Amino acid sequence: MTSDTALPLLRVTGLRKHFGRDEIIRGIDLDVAPGDRIAILGASGSGKSTLLRCLNFMERPTAGRIVLGGKVIGTERSGHDGKIEVSYSESELTRVRQRVGMVFQQFNLFPHMTALGNVMEGLRTVKGMARDAAAAKAQGQLARVGLEDKADVYPSRLSGGQKQRVAIARALAMEPELLLFDEPTSALDPELVGEVLRTIRTLAEEGRTMLLVTHEVGFAYHFANRVLFIADGVIHEQGSPDEVLKHPQQARTQAFLARHNEFQF
């Protein structure tokens, strides 16, 4: 008998996403177990970011099923043509977004709020926490990412790396079960990349469940227990870091990695 602990935290089946006539995600199946650290690689336009945005329901899937913690997200029904249609309520998606945190490329901080105010915002507006309790929790999360001394600083006075660490603190404050990182270092100057990657590595060492879209191939090798290579909206190759990054079997994966041969791992 399979125990509950063996069930995936997240199960994705037949996921598809269209934008008009363009099909960006063309049928992805993916299981994410508690504690998984999954690195997602692929060329620009391959569907990596769209996949994450569908998992967080910032984009609603065109087709497919997403199961979080054993519960299907959305209400399924058969359409007139026999196809399964899914409808979503905003209240349900709000609960999902609390459980599935997202860290974006461009930080998405409120410029009129201090670092502390940005981290507090979700605690106040979504979870309804009292101001003092939210402030104490937010201060603790800023300390976790090494920014306890920047609580009263506005984003315009922070470096890119500091802004991204505030964004990570904001996501952590909501206590998500799953963290999604969408190329969190792509908007940073090279000298600031390391501080963000070190923060992500610390979270990995804590056993957090994470999906990371990245072009940092060397970091992916050391961070991940599983690597996905996505091309044309499908998972083209997947496996352990050694299997995918050192011994890729597919020509598309080999060609992609050949363009990143300056990384040593």
pLDDT tens-digit profile of 168-203? 999 999 999 999 999 999 888 888 999 999 999 999
CA–CA distance, 226 with 156 (Å, rounded to integer) = 36
Percent of the chain that is helix, strand, coil (3-state, to 5)? 40, 25, 35
Domain spans in the chain, listed from the N-terminal domain onward: 4-258
Beta bridge partners of 101: 179
Per residue in 38-89, pLDDT (tens digit) is: 999 999 899 999 999 999 999 999 999 999 999 999 988 877 777 777 888 9
Query: If DSSP codes are grouped into helix, strand and coil, which group holds residue 75?
Result: strand
Average pLDDT, the chain: 92
In eight-state DSSP terms, residue 60 is -
Q: What is the average per-residue pLDDT within 195-218?
A: 94
pLDDT confidence bin for 265, thresholds 50/70/90: low
CA–CA distance, 41 with 243 (Å, rounded to integer) = 14
Question: What's the pLDDT score for residue 261?
Answer: 63
Question: What's the pLDDT score for residue 2?
Answer: 42
Instruction: Extract the tokens encoding 119.
Output: 């981290």
Query: If DSSP codes are grouped into helix, strand and coil, which group holds residue 66?
Result: strand
CA–CA distance, 148 with 119 (Å, rounded to integer) = 12
Per residue in 245-261, pLDDT (tens digit) is: 999 999 999 999 988 76
- CATH 3.40.50.300 assigned to 4-258: yes
Is 80 exceeded by the pLDDT of residue 5? no
Q: What percent of the chain lies above the pLDDT cut of 90?
A: 82
Q: What is the average per-residue pLDDT within 137-161?
A: 96
Q: What is the average per-residue pLDDT within 200-211?
A: 94
Spell out the alpha helix ranges (H) of the chain: 48-55, 90-99, 115-125, 131-144, 160-173, 190-205, 217-223, 241, 251-258
The H or E element that residue 205 is part of is helix 190-205
